[in-house]
């Protein structure tokens, strides 16, 4: 067991709580930076996808996991970021500038989508974002002279002041740097007054309001920041996938993103990346598992949907904290062994609270 | 004449939206859960009907009750197995759960070899029958949709208004805890509501099938029923039908008068305007808790 002896208040908000954190996260970052020399190109590409979806997951986690506002149209922000980057990059803008524009435009769209959040709650907000997602997808498909419509739009390689990052390893390192930067921004945000305000709004809007948190401002801010992160992920996604079409940013993608944060673990920064790893690794695992199943099941087209759905149902029923919650339990078991008690993480039974009376 | 023609087809389409929205509203009223699986339940219902008629050779009039009863069983057991253990958790968990149910339903239907990935035509007896009434061309499919929806609404109204079970359901939907104290078996009622919602979904599926086709992704039409439910007010049964009709008619006119592409998003534009103007919907209840 580890006892942390606190000698100053700064320790309460320090990013690394103890030496173990420094060591293990340092090792993880070192391994990730060394990955281009350690793993094959295919796995590097999958790792890049995990990082990109991780950034998107951070955005959605900020909104859904930390502010308690659920967006069923988050793929729209992904699309706005991706198309902005593709169009500006195509016009020869340097990467940092076009990336900033992609994030800015996504954030602006985020504020617009967030407007209904000031008036409606719960499922109504979900449907407002769902509607917005459909409208953005339709705009992407119909605004043909900019987005190329349903015919698609091909994306040029990253142009970092004349240095072309075409190959897998260079682009992977770029994604890694941006993912680490995004994680640090989120972690710092969450220990700042703004982040605390978000969490307060999630836990109870009424009490947040009563301690002087301006709901409208913070909800808009949350939407804007979340959309900006998603736009950043979208810009990287555009370069990685290098061919955009509107149907990549439809409702299925939005639900996949939600599935990602729920399976990863709502309300944890780790969850964004764990969920991304699940989302990317699952098709691979299914492909491996196919060989062991009878062909009638293994070769069927719907297998992936069934596995995703079953995983989602399983996590909601048995592990509401997601993969990160499972990891927490395992870690606690190891730390406390042999004194782990079964009821340590027992869920509190609660009566159903009516949403109509709020 | 053109306008009336469009109106009729819009109303028929709107009835389908309304029926799916009715399923949402039933479940929402009783259990405060928004079921994203409603469209997929409809798809499963249509497939059961298809399996009975096209593959087992059951006549139409027998296939309809079979698929409705089958869906009732599926709805009942879904509630019992996955929804009940999680009742009282945050609403969002249950929403994700129903998303998962939708995924599984769609995947399982797709996995049926040689059937799940195809599009099928449901061989109903009134297929391709049209009536000519004073210059109007009325397809029998559309008339059946409108008629059945009206009958179903009357039936549901009567159940909720005059039967003991219906009144108990109303009580449970207004305040679960108080209903418990009054000795109403709330859990059993919840299961019953899921069964009714699945039955309504099966009817919607069987009505929609002759107009479009039966395929694994037909459940996505459920996403257009959400706007219908919101426009009518999420907690109101007549509101669901009215909302569905509004969405259907607006869509029908938008497809004719506005440029291509507006038809697909008309429903969502309507719902966004509705949320800005009147967030509680047309027939929504306005309850507020004072702190």
- Which residues from chain A sit within 8 angstroms of residue B109, using beta carbons? 302
Structure confidence by residue, pLDDT tens digits, B5-44: 888 888 888 888 888 888 888 888 777 778 888 888 899 9
> Interior CA angle at B178 toward B175 and B184, to 5°?
100
Smallest Cβ–Cβ distance between B287 and the set A313, A349, A357 belongs to A357
CB contact under 8 A, A302 and B226: no
- Which residues from chain B sit within 8 angstroms of residue A258, using beta carbons? 96, 99
pLDDT tops 60 at residue A349: no
pLDDT of residue A196: 92
Structural domain contains residue B141: yes
Give the β-pairing of A158-160 and A153-154: unpaired
pLDDT of residue B279: 74
Structure confidence by residue, pLDDT tens digits, A268-315: 899 999 999 999 988 888 888 777 777 666 666 778 888 888 888 888
CB contact under 8 A, B268 and A131: yes
Structure confidence by residue, pLDDT tens digits, B251-261: 888 888 887 77
Pick the most confident of A5-19, A205-219, B19-33: A205-219
Residue to test with chain B: of A67, A135, A317, most B Cβ within 10 A? A317
**End-to-end Cα distance, chain B:** 55
Least Cα separation, residue A250 to chain B (angstroms): 12
pLDDT tops 50 at residue A8: yes
Nearest to B124 by CA among B55, B49, B180: B49
pLDDT of residue A41: 86
Structural domain contains residue B246: no
CB contact under 8 A, B268 and A308: no
Structural domain contains residue B180: yes
pLDDT of residue B186: 84
CB contact under 8 A, A356 and B235: yes
Q: Which residues numbered 185-214 in A keep a CB inside 8 Å of some CB on B?
A: 206
Task: Tell whether A259 lies on the interface with B, counting CB pairs under 8 A.
Answer: yes
Structural domain contains residue A248: yes
Least Cα separation, residue A193 to chain B (angstroms): 25
- The predicted model gives A320-327 an average pLDDT of 86
pLDDT of residue B51: 85
| Tokens found for residue A239 | 């370069």
pLDDT of residue A229: 95
Smallest Cβ–Cβ distance between B268 and the set A135, A304, A352 belongs to A135
pLDDT tops 60 at residue B227: yes
- Give the residue on A whose Cα is nearest the Cα of B174: A354
CB contact under 8 A, A124 and B275: yes
The phi, psi pair for A294, rounded to 5°, reads -60, 145
Structural domain contains residue A322: no
pLDDT tops 60 at residue B247: yes
Q: What is the ipTM of this complex?
A: 0.84
Least Cα separation, residue B276 to chain A (angstroms): 7
- What whole-number distance in Å separates Cα of residue B291 and Cα of residue B289? 6
- What whole-number distance in Å separates Cα of residue A102 and Cα of residue A88? 9
| Tokens found for residue A40 | 């094959």
- The predicted model gives B180-190 an average pLDDT of 86
- Which residues from chain B sit within 8 angstroms of residue A307, using beta carbons? 107
CB contact under 8 A, A305 and B291: no
Nearest to A282 by CA among A76, A50, A57, A39: A50
**End-to-end Cα distance, chain A:** 43
Q: How many domains does chain A have?
A: 1
- What whole-number distance in Å separates Cα of residue B87 and Cα of residue B79? 10
Structural domain contains residue A321: no
**Mean pLDDT of all residues in chain B?**
83
The phi, psi pair for A348, rounded to 5°, reads -80, 130
- The predicted model gives A4-32 an average pLDDT of 87
Structure confidence by residue, pLDDT tens digits, A328-348: 888 888 888 787 777 777 766
- Give the residue on A whose Cα is nearest the Cα of B272: A128
The phi, psi pair for B3, rounded to 5°, reads -65, -40
| Tokens found for residue B221 | 């039409």
What confidence category does residue B127 fall into, taking pLDDT thresholds of 50, 70 and 90? confident
Size of interface A-B (CB pairs under 8 A): 157
> Which residues form the domain of B61?
15-219
The phi, psi pair for A137, rounded to 5°, reads -60, -40
CB contact under 8 A, B227 and A124: no
DSSP assignment of chain B, as one string? -HHHHHHHHHHHHHHHHHHHHHHHHHHHHHHS---TTHHHHHHHHHHHHHIIIIIS---HHHHHHHHHHHHHHHHHHHIIIIIGGGTTS-HHHHHHHHHHHHHHHHHHHHHSTTTTTS-B----TTTT-EEEETTEEEEHHHHHHHHHHHHHHHHHHHHHHHSHHHHHHHHHHH-HHHHHHTT--HHHHHHHHHHHHHHHHHHHHHHHHHHS-B-TTGGGGHHHHHHHHHHH-TT-HHHHHHHHHHHHHHHHHHHHHSPTTHHHHHHHHHHHHHHHH-TT-SS--------
- What whole-number distance in Å separates Cα of residue A159 and Cα of residue B62? 66
Structural domain contains residue B94: yes
Smallest Cβ–Cβ distance between A355 and the set B91, B101, B116 belongs to B91
- The predicted model gives B188-198 an average pLDDT of 89
Task: Tell whether A282 lies on the interface with B, counting CB pairs under 8 A.
Answer: no
Say which range, A171-180, B234-243, B257-266, B281-290, has the weakest mean pLDDT. B281-290
Task: Tell whether A258 lies on the interface with B, counting CB pairs under 8 A.
Answer: yes
Structural domain contains residue A226: yes
CB contact under 8 A, A312 and B99: yes
pLDDT tops 60 at residue A355: no
Beta bridge partners of B132: B137
pLDDT tops 80 at residue A134: yes
More confident residue, A92 or A46: A46
> Which residues form the domain of A228?
34-257
Structural domain contains residue A224: yes
- Give the residue on A whose Cα is nearest the Cα of B24: A123
Task: Tell whether B217 lies on the interface with A, counting CB pairs under 8 A.
Answer: no
Let me know if B22 is exposed, middle or buried by CB neighbors in 10 A (0-12, 13-18, 19+). buried
- The predicted model gives B125-150 an average pLDDT of 79
pLDDT of residue A251: 86
- From residue B241, give the alpha-carbon distance in Å to each of A156, B36, B154, B200, B264: 49, 18, 12, 12, 20
pLDDT tops 80 at residue B64: yes
- Give the residue on A whose Cα is nearest the Cα of B264: A138
Smallest Cβ–Cβ distance between A352 and the set B88, B97, B285 belongs to B88
pLDDT of residue A194: 93
CB A98 within 8 A of CB A84: yes
- The predicted model gives A37-61 an average pLDDT of 91
Count of CB atoms situated within 10 Å of the CB of A106:
31
- The predicted model gives A125-129 an average pLDDT of 86
CA dihedral sign, ordered B10, B14, B17, B19: negative
What confidence category does residue A176 fall into, taking pLDDT thresholds of 50, 70 and 90? very high
Smallest Cβ–Cβ distance between A354 and the set B32, B117, B279 belongs to B32
Q: Which residues numbered 36-75 in A keep a CB inside 8 Å of some CB on B?
A: 64, 70
- What whole-number distance in Å separates Cα of residue B268 and Cα of residue B272? 6
Stated as kind and residue range, the H or E segment containing A236 is helix A215-241
What confidence category does residue A187 fall into, taking pLDDT thresholds of 50, 70 and 90? very high
Residue to test with chain A: of B92, B98, B258, B285, most A Cβ within 10 A? B92
pLDDT of residue A17: 82
pLDDT of residue A358: 41
- The predicted model gives A200-220 an average pLDDT of 89
pLDDT tops 90 at residue A185: yes
Beta bridge partners of A158: A165
> Interior CA angle at A15 toward A14 and A18, to 5°?
75
DSSP assignment of A14-32, as one string? -SS-SHHHHHHHHHHHHHH
pLDDT tops 60 at residue B290: no
CB B207 within 8 A of CB B19: yes
- The predicted model gives A69-79 an average pLDDT of 89
Structural domain contains residue A48: yes
Say which range, A162-176, B84-98, B274-288, has the weakest mean pLDDT. B274-288
Task: Tell whether A309 lies on the interface with B, counting CB pairs under 8 A.
Answer: yes
Nearest to A107 by CA among A20, A251, A274, A231: A231
Structural domain contains residue A45: yes
- From residue A221, give the alpha-carbon distance in Å to each of A73, A86, A198, A201: 17, 26, 9, 12
Share of chain A above pLDDT 90, in %: 31
- What whole-number distance in Å separates Cα of residue A10 and Cα of residue A14? 6
Prediction pTM value:
0.88
CB contact under 8 A, B97 and A350: no
Smallest Cβ–Cβ distance between B85 and the set A306, A317, A351 belongs to A317
Contacts of B122 (CB under 8 A, 6+ apart): B46, B49, B50, B53, B54, B206, B209, B210, B214
Task: Tell whether B257 lies on the interface with A, counting CB pairs under 8 A.
Answer: no
pLDDT of residue A357: 47
What confidence category does residue A162 fall into, taking pLDDT thresholds of 50, 70 and 90? low
Structural domain contains residue B270: no
CB contact under 8 A, A116 and B276: yes
Structural domain contains residue A281: no
Task: Tell whether B174 lies on the interface with A, counting CB pairs under 8 A.
Answer: no
CB A75 within 8 A of CB A253: yes
- Give the residue on A whose Cα is nearest the Cα of B290: A358
What confidence category does residue B283 fall into, taking pLDDT thresholds of 50, 70 and 90? confident
What confidence category does residue A222 fall into, taking pLDDT thresholds of 50, 70 and 90? very high
CB B224 within 8 A of CB B247: yes
Pick the most confident of A1-15, A47-61, A236-250: A47-61
Q: How many domains does chain B have?
A: 1
| Tokens found for residue B36 | 């994203």
């Amino acid at each position: 067991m580890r006892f942390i002896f606190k000698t100053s208040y700064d320790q309460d908000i320090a990013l690394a709580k103890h030496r173990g954190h420094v060591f293990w996260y340092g090792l993880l970052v070192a391994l990730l930076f060394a990955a281009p020399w350690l793993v094959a190109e295919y796995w590097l590409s999958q790792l890049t996808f995990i990082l990109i979806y991780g950034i998107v997951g951070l955005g959605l986690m900020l909104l859904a996991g930390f502010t308690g506002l659920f967006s069923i149209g988050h793929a729209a922000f992904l699309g706005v970021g991706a198309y902005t980057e593709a169009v500006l990059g195509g016009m020869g803008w340097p990467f940092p500038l076009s990336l900033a524009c992609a994030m800015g435009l996504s954030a602006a769209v985020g504020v617009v989508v967030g407007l209904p959040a000031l008036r409606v709650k719960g499922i109504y907000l979900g449907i407002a974002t769902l509607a917005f997602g459909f409208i953005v997808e339709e705009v992407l498909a119909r605004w043909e002279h900019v987005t190329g419509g349903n015919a698609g739009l091909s994306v040029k390689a990253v142009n970092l002041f004349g240095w072309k990052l075409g190959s897998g390893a260079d682009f992977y390192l770029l994604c890694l740097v941006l993912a680490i930067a995004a994680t640090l921004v989120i972690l710092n945000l969450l220990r700042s007054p703004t982040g605390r305000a978000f969490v307060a709004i999630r836990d109870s809007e009424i009490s947040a309001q009563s301690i002087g948190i301006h709901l409208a401002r913070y909800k808009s801010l949350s939407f804007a920041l979340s959309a900006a992160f998603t736009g950043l992920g979208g810009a990287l996604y555009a370069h990685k996938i290098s061919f955009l079409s509107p149907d990549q940013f439809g409702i299925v993608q939005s639900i996949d993103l939600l599935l990602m944060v729920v399976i990863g673990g709502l309300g944890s920064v780790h969850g964004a990346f764990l969920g991304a790893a699940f989302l990317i690794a699952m098709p691979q695992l299914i492909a491996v598992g196919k060989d062991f199943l009878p062909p009638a099941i293994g070769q069927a087209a719907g297998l992936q949907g069934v596995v995703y759905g079953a995983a989602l149902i399983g996590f909601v029923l048995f592990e509401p904290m997601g993969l990160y919650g499972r990891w927490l339990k395992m870690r606690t078991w190891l730390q406390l062994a042999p004194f782990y008690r079964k009821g340590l993480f027992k869920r509190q039974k609660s009566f159903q609270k009516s949403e109509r009376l709020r | 004449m053109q306008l009336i023609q469009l109106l009729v087809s819009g109303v028929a389409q709107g009835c389908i939206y309304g029926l799916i929205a009715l399923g949402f509203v039933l479940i929402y009223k009783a259990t405060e859960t928004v079921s994203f699986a409603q469209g997929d339940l409809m798809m499963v219902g249509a497939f059961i009907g298809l399996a009975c008629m096209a593959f087992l050779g059951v006549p139409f009039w027998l296939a309809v009750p079979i698929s409705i009863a089958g869906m009732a069983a599926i709805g009942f057991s879904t509630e019992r197995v996955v929804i009940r253990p999680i009742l009282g958790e945050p609403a969002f968990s249950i929403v994700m759960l129903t998303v998962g149910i939708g995924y599984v339903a769609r995947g399982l239907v797709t996995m049926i070899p040689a059937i799940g990935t195809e599009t099928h035509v449901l061989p109903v007896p009134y297929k391709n029958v049209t009536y000519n009434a004073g210059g109007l061309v009325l397809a029998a499919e559309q008339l059946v949709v409108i008629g059945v929806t009206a009958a179903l609404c009357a039936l549901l109204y009567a159940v909720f208004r005059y039967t003991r079970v219906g009144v108990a359901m109303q009580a449970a939907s207004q305040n679960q805890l108080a209903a418990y104290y009054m000795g109403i078996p709330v859990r059993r009622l919840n299961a019953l509501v899921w069964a009714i919602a699945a039955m309504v979904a099966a009817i919607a599926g069987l009505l929609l099938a002759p107009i479009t086709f039966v395929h694994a992704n037909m459940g996505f039409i459920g996403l257009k029923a959400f706007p219908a439910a919101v426009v009518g007010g999420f907690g109101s049964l007549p509101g669901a039908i009215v909302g569905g009709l509004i969405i259907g008619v607006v869509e029908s006119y938008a497809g004719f008068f506005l440029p291509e592409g507006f038809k697909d998003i008309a429903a969502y534009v309507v719902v966004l305007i509705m949320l800005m103007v009147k967030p509680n919907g047309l027939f929504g209840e306005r309850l507020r808790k004072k702190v």
